[in-house]
Structures are given as structure tokens and as C-alpha cells.
Amino acid sequence: MRLVERVGYENAGTIEFLLDSDKRFYFMEMNTRIQVEHPVTELVMGLDLVKMQIRIAAGEELQVPNGLRPRGHAIECRVNAEDPVSFRPSPGRLTTFHPPGGPGVRVDTHAYEHYFIPPYYDSMIAKLIVHDCDREAAIARMSRALEFFVIEGIQTSIPLHRRILEHPDFRAGRLSTRFMERFLAEASAPSRDKP
């Protein structure tokens, strides 16, 4: 808060930090816009950040409820039009597009059945966000939501997300900036069970 007050910033923004193993925070950057991960904050805090930013831009004073506290746990998966192993883009027509739904499941997307994914832009076609009472429940809810998310006609990152959610380090919260590096190395290593 002191950082944004010091520079006189008046709008929505995202301040990013890294946390080390000794629970010390290190400032990374501030983005003066709504981030793609904003639904996680919205679900955990019960706020509509986009509406708040529009109101601030219209000259209204920021209204934040008293006693605001995080509740539960949220996870976001970016569903990309790409090969889940090589990460090559996978443009093409969506022959089937059936997003999941239900309590605690949110899908932000522009896609629909028969939509053509062009090869020229960002490969993200949907954000799948879930919210539940704690991390374990949110992982279970995300696993189910990914299982019921049906996209045909192109390759997507859904199988990759499902494998990440099953990884014991992810489930235990043993994460770092090197998690994906280790995860991909394990995935490409020959299995000892193979003849």
C-alpha cells in the first residue's frame, strides 16, 4: 500500500512478489492493468476487479468493503490451443466446445463451437477458474472441471494441466520457479517400468 501511495498511483493494479523458503517476500513488479489471473483474486476476495477499475477510471472513489479477508482457495488453468507436450500452437476449427460448469467453476472465454482459432495471436482460448474451501478441495474441483471440459478439433493444454494436478509436489504445495523445469524433465525421462 505504501508503494502505490508513494508514487501517487490511483487505479487497479497488480503487485507481484516472490516468496522464498524462509517466507521472505521480494518485490518483482507492478502491472498497472488487470492481469489474466484476476479471477483468482475475485473469487477469493469476493470482488469484481474489472468493475472497480472502470469505476475508478470514471472518477469514482475506490470502494473496498471493511473487514475484507480472503476466503477459500482458487486455482486458474489457462486453456491454450497448443500441443500439450511440445507446446506448438494448434490453430484450427473447434468442432466441439463444451466448457464445464457448476458451483465454484468459472470459465472466461471468447470461444464457441465452430470458432476458428487463428495462428496469429496468443494461443489462450479460455481461463478455467475454480474456488473451494481449501487447496485440496480446489484441486479436486479443478481436476473434475478439466475432465468435463471437452474441446475437439484442435489440441489443447488440458492434458498438461491434468498431469500437473496429479503431481505429488503440486498436490503438496512444494512449488518453486523451477517446478515446470523439473516436471517436464520427469515427463521426458524414460520410465523404469518400460521393458
Helix runs in 46-178, H state only:
49-57, 135-148, 158-166, 168-172
For position 165, what pLDDT does the model report? 97
What's residue 62's pLDDT?
79
Q: What is the pTM of this model?
A: 0.88
Residues 9 and 51 both lie in one domain? yes
pLDDT in tens, 52-75: 888 888 989 877 888 889 999 999
Please indicate, yes or no, whether residues 184 and 93 belong to a single structural domain of this protein: yes
Which residues are part of the catalytic machinery?
33
Count of other CB atoms within 10 angstroms of residue 4: 14
For the chain, how many residues are written? 195
In a domain, residue 54? The reply is: yes
Looking at the structure, tell me whether residues 55 and 111 fall in a common domain. no
State the total domains in the chain: 2
The residue segments making up the domain with residue 78 are 72-189
**Residue 11 domain-assigned?**
yes
End-of-domain residue from the set 49, 70, 91: 70
Q: How far apart are CA 17 and CA 33, in angstroms?
A: 16
Residue 130 has what pLDDT? 98
